[in-house]
């Protein structure tokens, strides 16, 4: 989902783009990554590859970390060897969600689940393999045109059911990948090192996001409030994972509502 939009954003900015799917390059294969980057000789690499199955990671943490941790390190090492700049995408799940004000880049990390631990392992691997030549961009609650996401799922369920229950005790920053992609390209172009928090402006619950999507599309479905505990999901989620940047050079995204409307204007119906 994000990779498609980053490729498009980079092309619009006038860059020559090489986009590789998992079939074409498995980032767990250090030798293959090194050979591919060495051949391409890029100015910058944006790593959008990730294990994103949060619940699945609870029973397969080693497999998740092989991608999100060691795999990220492989990309960083190859990028550094080529003299290029790396933009690595991380997650709000590196935080425990106990805060009551937005997390900034200097906030202490404390993941509560396997997925978050795997993403934090990736941050550490990137920093170790490419010191001074990398950016770690934490974002959250992604939705976009080219992959399954919460908004698309809600719109599909609204067509299939008369009523839906959505949790209102998780608060975060919904982020449209079309907007995040432009920010990632800008960070790569400007070679802005270190950690950046880039997510949709403002914050809301999953319930609020669903309600906004239904209101914008005229979906005729009854929406009820639910709790995370009622879902009984394997993985713990941060109850509060709002991201903000304390850096003046970090790109700022529009409010999440703007991102939602931009996404809906694409006519996504999945």
Give the pLDDT score at 61. 98
**68, 113 contact by CB (below 8 A):** no
Whole-angstrom Cα distance, residue 24 to residue 252?
33
Q: pLDDT tens digits, residue range 87-146?
A: 999 999 999 999 999 999 999 999 999 999 999 999 999 999 999 999 999 999 999 999
Confidence of residue 231 (pLDDT cuts 50, 70, 90): confident
**pTM as predicted:** 0.96
SS3 46: strand
What pLDDT does residue 267 have? 85
Task: Check if 115 is active-site.
Answer: yes
Q: For residue 233, give every residue at least 6 positions away whose Cβ sits within 8 Å of its Cβ, in sequence order, or none.
A: 55
**Residue 264 CB neighbour total at 10 angstroms:** 16
φ and ψ at residue 195, rounded to 5 degrees: -90, 135
User: Alpha-carbon distance 118 to 67, whole Å?
Assistant: 8
Of the candidates 197, 174, 178, 126, which has an alpha carbon nearest to the alpha carbon of residue 7?
Answer: 178
Q: Tell me if residue 223 falls in helix, strand or coil.
A: strand
Quickly state the pLDDT bin for 13 (edges 50, 70, 90).
Answer: very high
Over residues 161-187, the pLDDT tens digits come to 999 999 999 999 999 999 999 999 999
What is 81-139 written as a DSSP string?
A: HTT-EEEEEEEGGGS-S--SS-B-TTSPP---SHHHHHHHHHHHHHHHHSTTSEEEEEE
Flag whether pLDDT at 222 surpasses 90: yes
* pLDDT higher than threshold 70 for residue 269: no
In angstroms, the Cα distances linking 122 to 65, 76, 181 are 8, 10, 20
Percent of the chain with pLDDT over 70: 99
**75 vs 62: CA distance, rounded Å:** 18
CATH superfamily of 2-264: NAD(P)-binding Rossmann-like Domain (3.40.50.720)
Which entry of 115, 207, 240, 263 is annotated as an active-site residue?
115
Task: Identify the pLDDT of residue 86.
Answer: 98
Q: How confident is the model over 43-84, as pLDDT tens digits?
A: 999 999 999 999 999 999 999 999 999 999 999 999 999 999
Tell me how far the alpha carbon of residue 215 is from its chain's centroid: 25
CA-nearest of 138, 197, 185 to 44 is 185
């Amino acid at each position: 989902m994000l990779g498609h939009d980053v490729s498009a954003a980079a092309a619009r900015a006038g860059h020559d783009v090489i986009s590789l799917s998992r079939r074409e390059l498995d980032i767990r294969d250090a030798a293959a990554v090194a050979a591919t980057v060495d051949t391409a000789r890029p100015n910058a690499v944006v790593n959008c590859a990730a294990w994103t199955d949060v619940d699945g990671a609870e029973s397969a943490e080693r497999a998740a970390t092989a991608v999100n941790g060691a795999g990220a390190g492989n990309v960083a090492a190859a990028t550094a060897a080529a003299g290029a700049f790396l933009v690595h995408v991380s997650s709000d799940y590196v935080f425990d969600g106990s805060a009551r004000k937005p997390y900034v880049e200097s906030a202490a990390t404390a993941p509560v689940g396997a997925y978050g631990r795997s993403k934090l392992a990736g941050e550490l691997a990137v920093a170790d393999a490419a010191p001074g030549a990398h950016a770690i961009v934490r974002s959250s609650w992604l939705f976009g045109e080219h992959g399954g996401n919460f908004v698309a799922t809600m719109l599909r369920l609204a067509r299939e059911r008369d009523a839906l229950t959505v949790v209102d005790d998780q608060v975060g920053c919904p982020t449209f990948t079309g907007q995040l992609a432009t920010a990632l390209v800008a960070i790569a172009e400007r070679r802005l090192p270190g950690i950046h928090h880039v997510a949709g402006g403002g914050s809301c619950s999953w319930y609020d996001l669903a309600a906004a999507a239904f209101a914008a599309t005229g979906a005729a479905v009854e929406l009820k409030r639910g709790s995370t505990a009622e879902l009984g999901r394997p993985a713990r989620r941060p109850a509060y994972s709002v991201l903000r940047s304390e850096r003046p050079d970090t790109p700022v995204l529009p409010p999440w509502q703007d991102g939602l409307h931009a996404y809906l204007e694409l006519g996504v119906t999945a």
